[in-house]
Chain A
């Protein structure tokens, strides 16, 4: 049997609250700068939560696209397009004459929510004397909703736009697995390249739930921080006084490419996607498994896929949302997998600075891992002031740290019990023990 095809990262693009280049994002993260601020995308003054991590001062002109061409698209689609352009241009793939049928797209983009005003007006319009008449909803909505925008809310749209823009006519999919979506998309895209169904894949995700419906949903779940008076300090993963996450928004798109395909065109290689694991807690819709069963299973599966032992991991990019439950259970899960070695490995969560991109967080987290390898530095978990006995590992508190990184593990955990883990490795040509293990 032939040895497994290797999948490398030859491009990465992002649009985030800390900037729209990997350089800007990395500078911000390593400086401990927060992208969390007052929520400005709609009037949230009546909400308990009035902070968010918004993409500011950015539009598609950044990549030479006229925003008017995409005016019907929700924010996240514009982020996906922007990030994809950056990844594609950075990779040089357009000059490479890739076979379009072997160039695919796999994203984890969330649904976009309806316009709140249109939705509520339609309900009011279908009501008579305070009595809602369901059979009139659609006829009312048809007068109010904009057909062009409606189509763009569906989750398959970003993947179709990217396919059209970049002549990527190969395998094409979108998945939504809550906060695990984009990690899963990257993992499945890796599998697609490994088995030869494609040679190049655009993979990643985009989402923006900074929206009345998003805020409504998460406030009702008591998942959000209400530290409105000091937004930059609101998200404090693993800290004893953490009180929830802050909704962020953004997109990250990778070029995943088969190694020989990349080498033949002298592509710059950012790292190698060596491990992917997916699992389910199979416990409760509303709660994570109390011992982190699913999270540890996903980590173990990713490590096994990468043919690595836990003690070979140099850095863990945690899911670390900053909720009481997530951070405690993720810590437990890391201990289950790493044993005592859990105390050695530096762990940090960048949600303290970027906010939580919901379906798109796995992709930005992987980008952080890629940059950690590139720069030999791990970003901090900021706002870490009071240790929590339930979270007693090394979370790289408050200051970035020089750590030579060859192997990085990235976790994602989602509502409903989803888990995914990715391993990204420093690219080495054949010869190192790890690559030999993977080739066996």
Chain B
């Protein structure tokens, strides 16, 4: 029994759901990891405005049809179908991942007290879709193709759909999830980019531990594929976008890596207090025992991001009143960025010292690309499944170790997952977050 921050009530994960480039069911997702099958390919969706990002981890299976949302009762199916056009892509993926997770958890309606159940979800910068503006812009554009702003208020604006703004807000995933599932308890949306998922899960866990709720839906959704998201990514970092074989593009910690790959994804976990979970005979994936969040920001100094990751790890270990030795594996942020991977490896080496020589490191982005906020949640689910199955999945394309990344990425299947893992996330501005999850005996 820990004496850390989560000791008032223990918090466990009883359901998982994922919408990702390598599968939209838990089983397909795990199968892809076991078969080392990448979901990165040529970008199919034209509306992304692609170029230069011509390859991506795209969830081609997810078309935003009602069938993508899993097994739903009649009322829920009707409600979701009716609202599909109100939900942007990230929200649709979040809702679908959540419905899958709820199904996976086996929670019956009786098990859920609406007032004691809430949502904490991570989301990223929401792309405004150029398509939404076409009619309006056209009505303000002259024959020379020049847009006249002085006409926007009187003739362009009225061509926008009335509810347009509601499709652009990062809290919409959490709101839609609450509405379809009648979750009236604490509700928040964390907008910390890639670091959001761990923070959402940690915050949700604390809410349960503090007694403010008994069940929390937590996760994150994101995309770097939609127009403005891709624009931001391409402007900010090196993006690996084109290769004869797209599956080779994302190569975390590999010496030949050239940059991150854009992607999209969402994943959800169901959190419950331990006693209730055991009481209803729930399947338990693991227990949230520690978390840390940190910011070491001072412009673009490499050392600072490294510090942020190291401090977040230490904070997580401290909050769990446990030591680095106890960690079974690390799920890295594993961006495949030339500098980013060095910074992360340095942080892991700093905390784990010599143990970093053997501590297994995995990186789901090698399969999916970087889905912004969504990736942290997908990574969490991958490691939970690894804990469950007892073995890890390889980091794709890790062929040549980089001496500047002195850590141990997994290269085969069959490596033991251990009984606990750290999930790491960091954003370029130096905000890092870390979650520590442990198996329950």
Chain A interfacial positions (CB closer than 8 Å to B): 1, 43-48, 101, 104-105, 111, 113-114, 116-117, 119-124, 126-127, 130, 132, 134-139, 141-142, 145, 147, 150-151, 153-157, 159-161, 163-164, 168-178, 184, 188, 191, 195-197, 212-213, 215-222, 278-286, 293-294, 297, 301, 414-418
Contacts and interface: CB of A to CB of B under 8 A. Distances in A.
A263 B83 CA distance: 52
Contacts of B191: 111, 155-156, 174-176
Contacts of A293: 184
B146 A124 contact: yes
18 contacts: A47-B154, A111-B126, A123-B134, A124-B137, A130-B141, A141-B49, A160-B427, A197-B319, A212-B149, A217-B164, A220-B163, A280-B118, A280-B187, A282-B179, A283-B179, A416-B175, A417-B175, A418-B171
Contacts of B227: 134, 137-138, 141
Most buried by A among B150, B169, B230: B169
B64 interface: no
Interface stretch (B103-111, B294-302, B342-350, B354-362): B294-302
Interface in B125-184: 125-126, 128, 130-131, 133-134, 137-138, 141, 145-147, 149-154, 157, 160-166, 168-172, 174-176, 178-179, 181-184
B49 A114 contact: no
Given A197-B319, A220-B157, 13 more contacts: A130-B145, A132-B131, A147-B236, A155-B170, A164-B299, A169-B308, A169-B311, A173-B192, A177-B174, A220-B161, A285-B86, A293-B184, A417-B179
Nearest to A179: B171
Contacts of B115: 297
B186 A278 contact: yes
A336 to B, nearest CB: 14
Nearest to A154: B125
B192 A169 contact: no
B231 A141 contact: yes
B147 A121 contact: yes
Interface string B291-314: 011111111000000011001000
B89 interface: no
Interface in B227-245: 227-228, 230-232, 234-236
Contacts of B418: none
A161 B50 contact: no
Contact of A280 (B147, B184, B206): B184
A212 B232 CA distance: 21
A157 B206 contact: no
Given A160-B430, A171-B293, A283-B179, A219 B188 contact: no
* Majority secondary structure of chain A interface residues (helix, strand, loop or mixed): mixed
A297 B187 CA distance: 12
B228 A101 contact: no
B98 interface: no
Contact of B184 (A111, A196, A281): A281
A228 to B, nearest CB: 12
B80 to A, nearest CB: 12
B128 to A, nearest CB: 7
Contact of A177 (B46, B168, B171, B231): B171
A285 B83 contact: yes
B184 A279 contact: yes
Question: Which residue, A219, A222, A285, has most C-beta atoms of chain B within 10 A?
Answer: A285
B134 to A, nearest CB: 5
Contacts of A171: 292-294, 315
Given A44-B153, A164-B299, A177-B188, A138 B165 contact: no
Contacts of B365: none
Contacts of A48: 153
A280 B169 contact: no
